[in-house]
């Protein structure tokens, strides 16, 4: 199988898109290290759903630089390598500028940037030396349509994902000469815990109507694109940011 012998580290692998990414890589023969923040039971259920193997579920807060370092070291100590890093963990915190008090505004920005942007940057910094030593690797960052379209009431989220796109493209150029290929996937609305309140609320019908498909994406659809970008033979996609938003927002 295409990922036989490969170790794939998926952040936020306990639920939603990260869970689907883990299942998809495992179907290709990969050994998975899935990181979660607090939902240990969900993470263990993902491991139980994978084909047998030395897969790991590891707790860490990606917003904490020391925990990120420990996480990567644990994966390398226990599984020997990291061939693919999927920076998927993220948060979507509402903070409308007109009604959010100043302290809450600062907290929303700090938490969001720490989790969605600095976390992935630190993961890259910790993983890359191991990839260089192994002769190469793949990094796929999960960003968002909101980076391009704007993300009203979630301004920090939009900014964090725009930053993650920029990080991806800078790294694509910096790391490709070392055999490390960096790409990004930018989903629109996907049916996960992150969006349940929006999709089940009064705006749900309008959200689904944003796409000519008349629906939101499934986590599996995002996962298949993530896995495709990490598949040997797709090297010239390096630096790409692939939209997976059901044509709800078309960049020119």
- The single residue of 157, 181, 198, 249 carrying the catalytic annotation is 157
- In the complex, what is the shortest distance from the CB of residue 233 to ligand NAP, in angstroms, rounded to a whole number? 25
Q: Are 137 and 231 in contact (CB under 8 A)?
A: no
Q: Cβ atoms within 10 A of the Cβ of 66, count?
A: 10
In the complex with ligand NAP, which residue's Cβ is closer, 16 or 135? 16
Q: Are 18 and 218 in contact (CB under 8 A)?
A: no
Q: What is each CA distance from 169 to 104, 172, 217, 233, in whole angstroms?
A: 31, 5, 25, 19
* Cα–Cα distance measured from residue 107 to residue 81, given in angstroms and rounded to the nearest whole number: 35
- In the complex, what is the shortest distance from the CB of residue 155 to ligand NAP, in angstroms, rounded to a whole number? 14
Active site residue 157: yes
In the complex with ligand NAP, which residue's Cβ is closer, 12 or 137? 12
- In the complex, what is the shortest distance from the CB of residue 141 to ligand NAP, in angstroms, rounded to a whole number? 9
- Closest CA relative to residue 127, chosen from 167, 204, 75, 176: 75
- In the complex, what is the shortest distance from the CB of residue 140 to ligand NAP, in angstroms, rounded to a whole number? 11
CA 244-3-235 angle, to 5 degrees, is 55
* Cα–Cα distance measured from residue 80 to residue 57, given in angstroms and rounded to the nearest whole number: 15
- Closest CA relative to residue 169, chosen from 247, 241, 94: 241
Q: Are 140 and 84 in contact (CB under 8 A)?
A: yes
In the complex with ligand NAP, which residue's Cβ is closer, 113 or 134? 113
Backbone torsions φ then ψ of 17, nearest 5 degrees: -65, -40
In the complex with ligand NAP, which residue's Cβ is closer, 6 or 88? 88
Q: Cβ atoms within 10 A of the Cβ of 149, count?
A: 17
- In the complex, what is the shortest distance from the CB of residue 199 to ligand NAP, in angstroms, rounded to a whole number? 9
In the complex with ligand NAP, which residue's Cβ is closer, 17 or 82? 17
Which residues contact ligand NAP (rule: CB under 6 A)?
Answer: 11-12, 14-18, 36-39, 42, 61-63, 88-92, 115, 142, 144, 187, 189-190, 192-195
Catalytic residues: 157
């Amino acid at each position: 199988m295409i990922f036989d012998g490969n170790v794939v580290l998926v952040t936020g692998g306990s639920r939603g898109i990260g869970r689907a990414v883990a299942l998809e890589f495992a179907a290709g023969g990969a050994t998975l290290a899935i990181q979660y923040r607090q939902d240990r039971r969900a993470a263990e259920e993902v491991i139980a759903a994978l084909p047998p193997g030395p897969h790991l579920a590891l707790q860490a807060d990606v917003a904490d630089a020391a925990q990120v370092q420990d996480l990567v070291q644990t994966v390398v100590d226990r599984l020997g390598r990291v061939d693919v890093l999927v920076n998927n963990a993220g948060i979507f915190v509402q903070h409308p500028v007109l009604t959010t008090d100043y302290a809450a505004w600062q907290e929303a920005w700090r938490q969001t940037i720490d989790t969605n942007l600095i976390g992935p940057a630190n993961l890259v910094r910790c993983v890359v030396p191991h990839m260089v030593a192994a002769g190469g690797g793949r990094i796929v960052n999960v960003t968002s349509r909101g980076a391009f379209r704007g993300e009203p009431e979630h301004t920090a989220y939009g900014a964090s994902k725009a930053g993650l796109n920029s990080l991806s493209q800078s790294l694509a150029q910096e790391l490709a000469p070392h055999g490390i290929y960096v790409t990004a996937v930018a989903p629109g609305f996907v049916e996960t815990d992150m969006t349940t309140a929006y999709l089940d609320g009064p705006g749900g019908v309008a959200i689904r109507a944003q796409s000519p498909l008349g629906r939101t994406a499934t986590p599996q659809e995002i996962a298949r694109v993530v896995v495709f970008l990490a598949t040997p033979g797709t090297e010239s996609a390096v630096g790409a940011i692939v939209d997976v938003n059901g044509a709800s927002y078309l960049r020119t």
